[in-house]
Amino acid sequence: MTPTMLRQLWSLIETTQANLLLKLDDATLVQWLLKQYNQGRALNHDEIHLLSDYLNNRVSLIRDLAQQRC
């Protein structure tokens, strides 16, 4: 995963409404973030898998950050 991809992903997370991040279950949250991130980008299968693993490993952090914004 490139530094640019990481920055774009965390920018997406930071600009998404905190309530949305908190109300989705883990699997739906990861899929929603992947879908949003993938819009306008041509990610290959390996990149999607890498992003999915990355997000799954950071769901708790994403929720903690969203909770702080509420």
pLDDT reported for residue 40: 73
Question: Is residue 1 scored above 90 in pLDDT?
Answer: no
In terms of residue numbers, what domain contains 51?
3-69
Select from 45, 22, 44 the least CA-distant residue to 32.
Answer: 22
Residue with tokens 């903690």: 64
Give the contacts of 22 (CB within 8 A, at least 6 positions apart).
63, 66, 67, 70
Question: Is residue 28 scored above 80 in pLDDT?
Answer: yes
Task: Specify the number of domains making up the chain.
Answer: 1
pTM of the model: 0.90
pLDDT reported for residue 54: 97
**Contact predicate 48/38, CB 8 Å:** yes
Q: What is the pLDDT of residues 29-63, one digit of tens each?
A: 999 999 999 997 888 999 999 999 999 999 999 99
**Whole-number Å distance between alpha carbons of 6 and 54:** 10
Dihedral sign for Cα 33, 34, 38, 39, please: negative
The rounded mean pLDDT for the chain is: 94
